[in-house]
Every structure is written in structure tokens, then in C-alpha cells.
């Protein structure tokens, strides 16, 4: 079963076994349903049905509350702690349902799967947008809706400026010496460039010979 896929599927259904439901012979019941998208709360009475739904992505935690009598009857209350999109916090109660610990674990597991699926969608959207922008502008955006993007995740690398290799001949001092002092100074500069790896030994010897020929 694909959690939080396009097609909503029912995972679990249950009804309250509280005093009201037993006293009315089931004519007034609380029905609950867990799907791959929502947790539904349905109140059913004579001629009246009310349904509420909670997106699973809004569920923060799930607890169980039981009295001693409920434990003997294998029923209990499942407390679903919710944070709405506007930041409002509330707790919804699945009242007096059978095997509450199993239901709690099932809801927690489904919520966890929904969060994983939502996170993966964000990564996929970021990668798709990064690829689209790279194809049109040659640039990978750094963020998307507050989520950092990695160029590697998009399978693209942002092109950098071409690297210009230094021309060692251009780095050598101009040969314009006219006096022995100037020739010696240029020879020292050439020696430093050779030691630094800017000028090759062959180039050094050629320039040295040219300078010495001017003496």
C-alpha cells in the first residue's frame, strides 16, 4: 500500500464501545476510519451524521488512556495530538475503541510514512526545479521554499568560468636591459621565476643566453 499516494485507501476502521453506544443499541455511534491521507471522526445518530477529518501530516503524537475497567474490557481512548496549519493545537479522542495500543501504533506508523513521502516529494520538486532552471539559465538555485538544494541531487554541476592557464613566457620580464646592472637584475628575476615554476629551465636558459649576449 502506497502511503499518501494519489488514491486514498482505508487502513483501519473502528467504532466506539462507550456507554452511549451500548445504551442506544448502536443507534448513536462514534465511527473512526484511518486512511492513507486522513483520520476520520464520524458521529452517527438518528437522522444525523457528522464527519470531521484530520490530515495525517498534522498529527504530532498519539497516546493511549485507559481506566482499570477499560483494560479488563480491552478497550481504551486513543488521544491524537494535532497541530493545525495555522499553528492551533488540539487533541482528538478516539473514544473507547478495541485494542487501543494497536490502533495507536498503527496511526503512528502511518503518520511516519506520510512524513517520509512528503519529504521525498519536496526533494523531487527541488531537483526538478533545479534541473529546469539549470537548463534555461545555467544556474542552480541555492534554496527552494527554505529547503537547501544540492547540485549533486539534481544531477547537475553549475558551470564555472574557464580557467586560463598562465603563459610562462608572458610572465618573464621584458628584455630591455642596456647596462650590466640591469642584466644582472633581470637574471635574478628570471632565476626566481624558474624556482617558482613559472619559467621552465629551458626558457630560463634561453633568456639567460639572450641577456648575456647583450653584454
pLDDT surpassing 90 at residue 75: yes
Question: Tell me: the pLDDT tens digits for 79-108?
Answer: 999 998 888 999 999 999 999 999 999 999
Q: What is the predicted pLDDT for the residue at 44?
A: 64
92, β-bridge pairs? 80
- The answer to whether the CB of 69 falls within 8 A of the CB of 96 is no
Q: Are 50 and 34 in contact (CB under 8 A)?
A: no
Q: Under a CB-based contact definition with an 8 Å cutoff, are residues 58 and 85 in contact?
A: yes
pLDDT at site 167: 46
Position 192 scores a pLDDT of: 82
pTM above 0.75, yes or no: no
Task: Give the pLDDT of residue 80.
Answer: 95
Query: Grid coordinates representing 156?
Result: 547537475
The residues that bridge with 38 in the sheet, in sequence order, are 55
Q: What is the 3-state secondary structure (H, E, C) of the chain?
A: CCCCCCCCCEEEEEECCCHHHHHCCCCCEEEEEEECCEEEEEEEECCEEEEEEEEHHHEEEEEEECCHHHHHHCEEEEEEEEECCCCCEEEEEEEEEECHHHHHHHHHHHHHHHHHHHHHHHHHHHHHHHHHHHHHHCCCCCEECCEECCCCCCCCCCCCCCCCCCCHHHHCCCCCCCCHHHHHHHHHHHHHHHHCCCCCHHHHHHHHHHHHHCC
Nearest Cα to Cα of residue 153 among 177, 112, 125: 125
**What local confidence, expressed as pLDDT, does residue 129 receive?**
72
121-137 tens-digit pLDDT? 888 877 777 666 556 66
- For residue 40, which of 92, 110, 115 has the smallest C-alpha distance? 92
Does the pLDDT value for residue 5 go beyond 80? no
| HSE-CB of 96 using CA atoms within 13 angstroms | 14
Mean pLDDT of 52-67: 93
More confident: 19 or 40: 40
pLDDT band at 23 (very low <50, low <70, confident <90, very high): low
| pLDDT beyond 80 at 73 | yes
Strand 75-83 relative to strand 48-55: parallel, antiparallel, unpaired?
A: unpaired
Give the per-residue pLDDT at 157: 39
pLDDT in tens, 162-186: 544 444 444 444 445 557 778 788 8
pLDDT at 17: 86
pLDDT class for 27, splitting at 50, 70, 90? Answer: low
CB atoms within 10 A of CB 21: 19
Q: What is the mean pLDDT of the chain?
A: 76
Per-residue pLDDT at 43 exceeds 50: yes
Percent of the chain with pLDDT over 90: 33
Amino acid at each position: 500500500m502506497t502511503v499518501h499516494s494519489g488514491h486514498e485507501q482505508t487502513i483501519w476502521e473502528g467504532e466506539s464501545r462507550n456507554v452511549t453506544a451500548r445504551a442506544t443499541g448502536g443507534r448513536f455511534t462514534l465511527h473512526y476510519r484511518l486512511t492513507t491521507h486522513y483520520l476520520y471522526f464520524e458521529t452517527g445518530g438518528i437522522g444525523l451524521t457528522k464527519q470531521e477529518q484530520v490530515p495525517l501530516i498534522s498529527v504530532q503524537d498519539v497516546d493511549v488512556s485507559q481506566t482499570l475497567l477499560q483494560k479488563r474490557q480491552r478497550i481504551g481512548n486513543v488521544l491524537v495530538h494535532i497541530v493545525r496549519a495555522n499553528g492551533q493545537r488540539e487533541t482528538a479522542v478516539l473514544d473507547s475503541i478495541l485494542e487501543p495500543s494497536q490502533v495507536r501504533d498503527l496511526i503512528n506508523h502511518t503518520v511516519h510514512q506520510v512524513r517520509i513521502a512528503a519529504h521525498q516529494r519536496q526533494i523531487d520538486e527541488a531537483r526538478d526545479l533545479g534541473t529546469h532552471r539549470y537548463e534555461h539559465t545555467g544556474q542552480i538555485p541555492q534554496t527552494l521554499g527554505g529547503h537547501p538544494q544540492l547540485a549533486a541531487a539534481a544531477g547537475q554541476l553549475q558551470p564555472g568560468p574557464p580557467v586560463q592557464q598562465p603563459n610562462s613566457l608572458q610572465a618573464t620580464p621584458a628584455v630591455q636591459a642596456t647596462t650590466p646592472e640591469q642584466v644582472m637584475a633581470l637574471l635574478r628575476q628570471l632565476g626566481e621565476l624558474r624556482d617558482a615554476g613559472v619559467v621552465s629551465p629551458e626558457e630560463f636558459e634561453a633568456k639567460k643566453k639572450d641577456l648575456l649576449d647583450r653584454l
